[in-house]
Amino acid sequence: MSSSALLELLLDAAIEAGKAICAVYSGAFDVRRKADESPVTAADHAAEAIVLDHLARGAQGVPVVAEEEAAAGRIPAIGERFFLVDPLDGTKEFVARRGEFTVNIALVESGVPVLGVVYAPASSQLYAGDLAAGLAFRSAQEPETTRRAPRESIRTRQPPPDGLTAVASRSHRTPETDEYLKRAGVARTVSIGSSLKFCLVACGEADVYPRFGPTMEWDTAAGHAVLAAAGGSVRTLDGEPLRYGKSGFRNPSFIASGRP
């Protein structure tokens, strides 16, 4: 399957998962706590089942590491090529009904996220990236329709002369983040949840996203792919590219930037 066909598979999966999420979001729902005390809802499980079904049918034989499966101890052996799935990134935002939650699906090859889809169904924001093709786009895709919305190419921007715009986590802001913002001469800061932070940098609405503290690979891979395809990069604090397939799938602190 070509990368363009595989990207369409990921888009189909994300849109259908987004529809299921919105069905739960529109009514009352219970919130449970996982072993790490993070919240989980029926929407997480419904979305993950949909994505796993799409990948099993359309990309047979490629291992899938998915958040809720991993939480249940079901992690497949991986090789050079595997998927990372966060079916509902930003569950805290979902529970608070802020709308800033996303479906994240990424394909990783040799430690690099090469395809990624980030879908925010509550606001109909869809972002996608194909690193090999140098293609990144967004669309206003409503979850209730299968008709594809028009796609707009996106690209990172040159840093503006009046100072950088940073995007920071709404739920995980740290003193280290604030210190970095001062040190980097950031003029403006936007707070938003989930992988939408990567996407704001990818489409040139922000310049940098610093993340201090732990994240999991399924949290970041899809947004990373979109950003890289749009001309940006994600690097660890020592300047090395953030890689995937690490033991435990846990990320170190990183800086996502609109620059390569």
The domain of 63 spans 3-153
Give how many domains the chain has, as a whole number: 2
pTM: 0.96
Same domain, 111 and 186: no
The C-alpha atoms of residue 180 and residue 23 are separated, in whole angstroms, by 39
In a domain, 213, yes or no: yes
Domain CATH number, residue 221: 3.40.190.80
The C-alpha atoms of residue 92 and residue 133 are separated, in whole angstroms, by 34
> What's the first-to-final CA gap in the chain, in angstroms?
28
On whether the CB atoms of residues 154 and 127 are closer than 8 A, the answer is yes
Same domain, 215 and 190: yes
In a domain, 66, yes or no: yes
Sign of torsion over alpha carbons 7, 55, 72, 48: positive
Average pLDDT across each block of 10 residues of the chain; the chain has 260 residues. List them in order. Answer: 95 98 93 87 96 98 97 96 97 91 98 98 98 97 92 97 89 82 90 94 98 95 98 98 97 97
The pLDDT, as a whole number, for residue 171 is: 64
Same domain, 144 and 168: no
CB contact set of 128 (below 8 Å; sequence gap of 6+): 7, 10, 11, 116, 117, 118, 136, 137, 138, 226
In a domain, 62, yes or no: yes
Same domain, 225 and 147: no
CB contact set of 114 (below 8 Å; sequence gap of 6+): 3, 107, 108, 130, 131, 132, 225
What is the DSSP-derived secondary structure letter of residue 204?
Answer: T
Same domain, 202 and 233: yes
